[in-house]
Structures are given as C-alpha cells and as structure tokens.
Amino acid sequence: MKISTIVIRLSGIILVLALLIYFPGRKWARAHVNEKTATTDHPLLCTSCHLYIQKTGLIANLVNARYMSPINLTVSGDGKRLYVVAQESNALLIVDSESKKVINKIGVGNQPHSVILSKDGQKAYVSNQWSDNVFVIDLSAGRVTDTLKTGNGPAGLALSADGKALYVVNSFSSDVTVIDLQSKEEINRITAGNNPTGAKLSPDGKFLFVTSRRTVNVPYGEPLSSELTVINDSSRRISEYRKIESAYMMENVAFTPNGDLGFVTLIRPKNYVPSIQVEQGWMMTHGFGVFQPGKGGSVNELLIDEPNSFYSDPFGIAITPDGKKAFISSAGTDYITVIDIDSVRALINGSTPEVRKLYSNNLGISSRYIIKRIHTGSNPKGIALSPDGKLLYVAEMLDDNIGVISTESLQKVSSIDLGGPRRITVARKGRRLFNNSSHTFQNQYCCYTCHPDMHEDGLVYNMSGKDMGRNVTNTMSLRDISETAPFKWSGTNLTVYKQDGMRFSTFLTRTESFSYKDLDALTSYILTGIKNPPNLQYNPNGELTEAQLRGKKIFERTKDSYGNEIPEANRCITCHTPPYYTNSKMSYVQTLAATDDSILFDTPHLNDIYASAPYLHDGRAATLEEIWTKYGKNDKHGVINDMTKIQLNDLIEYLKSLRSPQYEYEDLKKNHAKN
C-alpha cells in the first residue's frame, strides 16, 4: 500500500473520530458552559471559568497580579515630593516630582486610604481603612514610628489649626476620632454623617468639614439628603450637620483660599424613578455642592454633566492658590473637569434660590462655568496641587500612574509610573470596566456608582420595570459573593455571566451589552477581586462577646423559649447557613409588599451585614432591629415573638459579628499556631 493511501486512510479515520468526538463533545461542552454560566450564548472558552475566576491556588497566583492602585496623594511643602497611597499594595510611595521616580516604598496597614503631612512636613499620617489605625511615618527616616488607634474604617485625615490634634474620619463607624498627637490617645469621638470620608479645615482654621457618602436613612419615596458634618476646631464639638439635599457620595471637600466658598463633590441620584429613565438622561447626575462655610450658610448644587454626556463618580477636588479654578476628577469617565470659580460665583449671585434649585438639575448650565475637560488615565481618584498651583497631580488608580497636568495650559504634561505590574490581568480589566461608565447610556454611571467600594450605596431603586414605585429593590453588596448565587433579590440570575450579560444592558445600561471578553473580565473581577473588609468593629479576632455567644445560640436554636419545636423551615440557620449564611434558595418571609409582584426572594448572605443598612428586599427596615420589631411580627421570618428584648439584642449582636470565611480561617490558623 502506498504511503499516500495510508495517509489518506489515516486522515479519514482521524476525521471520522474527530467528528465523532466533536459533535457530542461540543454538545457536552455547550451544556457544560450553559450550566456554569446560566446562559445559552457564552462562548465555549474553558478559560472563562477555569482560569479567570480562580480565587486561590497556583492558577490564581499565575493569572492575577497585585497592583499599586493609588487612591490619594499629597505634595510636600517644597513641591519636591509626592506621597502616594498605594491602596492595593498597602504602601506609601514617595515620589521625586522632578525625576518622576518612586524613591521609596513604605509598607503601611491594610487598605490604606489617605495621607497628610504634619505642619513641619517631617511626618506623614496614613489612614489604614481596614486596620482601624493611622500610621505615623518619620519621613526622614523613612519608617513607621507610631500607630494611632482609630474608630472603624479610618479614611480622611486633617490636622487641627494648631497642629496638635489629628482628626480621623471613621468611614465605617460614621464618626470622627480626635487624637491628641502628644499623648497619641483618642480624646474625643464625634458622631458624623453616614459613611463619612473627606475632611478639610476651613481656611480660617475654625471649622472642620467632613463629607458623607451615604444618605440619611429615610423611608422609600421621601426626599434624600446627605450631611456635611461641621466640627468646631477649638471646642472639638459638633457645630452643625449641614443638609445637602438630593445628593450623596460626597467624597471630598475643598475651599477657596479666602474661605468664602467651600466645594464638595457629589452625585444626585434619581433612584425613585424607573431605571429606564436612563435613556432620558435622568438616572444619575454628577456635580458639586457650593456652600458658604458660616453656620447656616447657603448650599447650592451644580452639575458637571452636560446634555448627552455625563461625568460620573466625581471624587477628588482641588482649588488653585489664586482661587480661580477648581478641578474635579471624574473617576467613572477618566476626566478632570476644570471649573471657573468666578463664573460659579456670578451664577449663584445673579440668581434667586428658586432658580438655583432648577440649576441643580440643569444639564445645560454647566457650559457656563466649565472651562475644560482633561482626559486622564484610568479611574482618576485623589488629586493634589503643587504648592505654586502650577501642576495638578492625579492618582490614576487603575493605571498605576500619577498624571501630571499643567494648570496653565490645562493639558496633561506627563505621567509618573508608580511601578505596578505591566501586565493587565483579566481581573484588572474587569475592575476597569466595573469603574468605567462608558458602557452606560451617555456615561451616566458605572457599576461602582451604585456599588461604591464594590459594596452598595444604601439606596432603593426602581429597576425592574417601567412602573413607578413597583418592585423596588435595595441595592445588594457585591463583596465576597462568589458562593452566594443566585443574584438579585428575585434570584433570577444564577450567575454573574447572566446578571451582567444581555439582561444588564436591557434593564440598566441601555447600550450595547458587554462583549464576551469584557463579560469574562467583569465576572473575573467580581468573583475574585472583591473582598469584605475585616469586621474589626464587631468581630476583630473571632472571639465572640458574651452577648454574641448568646445570640449565636438563638440563631442556631431548634426550640423556642417555651420549649416548643421551631419548624425547621423557620429556624434562622436553615435559610442562613454558614459560612455565607445563605442556603442560596428562594423563600417567603411575608415581606411581600402590595407594590411587589408575587415572587419569592433570594435568601441574602449575611457576612458583614452590619454594614448594609437598610434591610429587606425593599430597604424598608432601617436597622436590623426593625426587621423583626416592625416587619417580622408574625413569626414568618424566624420565630421572634417569644424573645425578650435582651434576647433580640443578643441575636442582633451576633448577626453584626458575621464576617467572611476568609477571616474565620485566618484566625483559626493563628489560634492553632498559638496553641
């Protein structure tokens, strides 16, 4: 037999075999992918699941990388050094502004947030948001010299006018720690607005202004407002809670040099109207608040958006030393917006309060005070001016760069590479998508807008249809959700692939859906890159308090206080099964409202539940207590009516202690090593 004949026959056999394998194999693969993605159209790519969503192990280590992710920065008094908080690397980077090189990297605590310098410029204070402390760094020695204990989730920092006290904004416990820098002890704890972040002392040194990101809790349908907390610097007491109406996500605050005006970044959500309104330019608007710092001074809100083009997620704000220009970073659209302050002043002074209220929703008015948009790297966050005001430094969080902008030419003039990994992983790409509004109609919002810090924004949205006020849903956290499918309160999405696929664009973004590559990247980030913070306030080391231990017993009980058997389906632990405290099933706890379609609800996961007020599917319960005291009186959401108030308090203390399994394992390991 000729060789050619053999080759032909062999090829034929291989082809037949290949066809025999291909068709059923492809059929199997299709079924497999359909099952794993809960969709019918996802490409047959093994990498989607077997590479990109691995959280631990060799593959995860190979596929993923640790970036710098700069979030905030400050500039030395002589302008020669930049101090950059590298949030993902848990480091403070010291950058030479002339050579544009990182000259030192100092390890700090977990998830650092902000940095400020002492009055003499010799020390840096870095808030470690997930460590509940502030590191004091001796800049000449280049090392951490002290650790100052704070409240929960320290973020923004400010010094008192005399430089003797440090204000630390505790973003999780919603208060401000005042630390005496001589004794290094907390001398006061002042209640702030909901989820406070940014802090700045007024130029006259009399008052500290603290922004807040979440709104004051109000029942669905009532007007929203957030609070600007004003603290008297000399008495270290509250001066006022300034109400900022219809706004939230106030990240940062700045003042004109003469102190006549203060500016805060903000978002004006339209969460009460159906999300379909996004097509009409009405889902989210972004802007800034302008306020007179004096007690009871006016507050006006203006937008940085314009018709057909939005500038989502304003974060950083800085004002030039001459008081002429303000810069606002739009983290969701990669732009710096430049505002002419005199034009803002003229607009406000030349209009009545009624007209100014109209301005706060007017997309067309921004052209009267915005003089330039400057494109930046990915996800611009904190910004800082050089002492002479000639350069603006921008923390491009998802590019690992510091962008340098000339405030005279209003152009980006250079970029400082912070030395993060060159390779862009799939999860990193997903994080960029998560934080970028380009996939939403007119750039109105991105995932991050309603899920700030990948958590939730505390608002209730009308997302499931066009009918006003029907099927409203409380935003759910995206932290550590990989094992908690199905998703959405209705549980209709079994996977993130489905949640963020075609349906996402149909119901939310109103644009083209994500490409499959983008969907893979987004899914990879959501399932692998988003962690819960450690629950340092209620469960710092796995050792439960006496009340929490009593509450745990109640949570796991099978009999009520009278010795009666609690039906299995009505026990806490049946539906809220550890370690994520969800059985991933749909259930009915008699919370269906008249405005809801008749459906069951997904059992929510409970880790870090303390940080997710309001509660229940439509956010009707302002606190954990209200789940039962107001909305669980019929014993359909667990048996509760036999309990004393002490027992209910114990149960709630236990619920507040729940945290991600990661931390349970870490503490178990530590304890094991100790023993």
Partner 1 sequence: MNKRFLKNSLLSAVALILTGFSFLNGQPSVKSDAIDVTDKMPVYGHWRNFTMKDGLPSDHVYCVRIDGDRVLAGTHDGLAVYENGKWKAYTTKDGLPHNGVVSIDVSETTGDVWLGTLGGLSRWSGGKFENFTQLNSGMPNDLVYCVICDGKDVWVATAGGAGHYDTSTRQWEIFTEKNAPMHEPWTYGVSAGDGKIFIAAWGGGVIEYTKKTKQFKDYTDPDGEMEIDLLPDDGIVHDITTATTWGAGYLWASTYFGLSSYDGTHWKGYFKEHCGLASNFINFVRAEGPVVFICSDNGLSSTNGKSWITYKKNDNDSNGKAIISNFSRDDDKTAYKTTREIPMSPSIAHNFVIGVDADKDVLWVATEKGVSRGELMK
Per CB under 8 A, residues contacting partner 1 are 151, 173, 175, 187-191, 227, 229-230, 235, 237-241, 537-538, 547, 622-623, 625-626, 629-630, 644-646, 648-649, 652-653
Nearer CB in complex with partner 1: 188/511:
188
Nearer CB in complex with partner 1: 164/375:
164
Residue 622 CB, nearest distance to partner 1 (Å)? 6
Cβ neighbours, 10 Å, residue 180: 15
Residue 631 CB, nearest distance to partner 1 (Å)? 10
- At position 228, the amino acid (one-letter code) is L
Residue 657 CB, nearest distance to partner 1 (Å)? 11
Nearer CB in complex with partner 1: 34/217:
217
DSSP string, 45-71: -HHHHHTTT--SHHHHHHH------EE
C-alpha pair distances (Å), 8 with each of 16, 152, 179: 12, 73, 84
Q: Which two tokens stand for residue 412?
A: 């980006």
Residue 646 CB, nearest distance to partner 1 (Å)? 6
Nearer CB in complex with partner 1: 144/648:
648
Distance (Å, whole) CA 604 – CA 308: 37
Distance (Å, whole) CA 631 – CA 650: 18
Distance (Å, whole) CA 414 – CA 422: 18
Residue that the structure tokens 């796995």 belong to: 542
Nearer CB in complex with partner 1: 430/614:
614
Nearer CB in complex with partner 1: 51/648:
648
Residue 92: strand pairing partners? 85, 106
Nearer CB in complex with partner 1: 525/538:
538
Residue 240 CB, nearest distance to partner 1 (Å)? 4
First-to-last alpha carbon distance for the chain, in angstroms, is 76
Nearer CB in complex with partner 1: 188/351:
188
Q: Which of 215, 287, 292, 227 is nearest to 261 (CA)?
A: 292
Cβ neighbours, 10 Å, residue 63: 18
Q: Which of 139, 150, 120, 250 is nearest to 197 (CA)?
A: 250
Nearer CB in complex with partner 1: 50/630:
630
Residue 644 CB, nearest distance to partner 1 (Å)? 6
Residue 189 CB, nearest distance to partner 1 (Å)? 5
Residue 352 CB, nearest distance to partner 1 (Å)? 25
Answer whether 182's CB lies under 8 Å from 164's CB: yes
Instruction: Give the list of residues 6+ apart from residue 278 with CB closer than 8 angstroms, or none.
Output: 440, 441, 444, 445, 508, 509, 510
Residue 236 CB, nearest distance to partner 1 (Å)? 8
Q: Which of 470, 462, 400, 468 is nearest to 432 (CA)?
A: 400
Cβ neighbours, 10 Å, residue 33: 21
Distance (Å, whole) CA 313 – CA 448: 8
Cβ neighbours, 10 Å, residue 569: 9
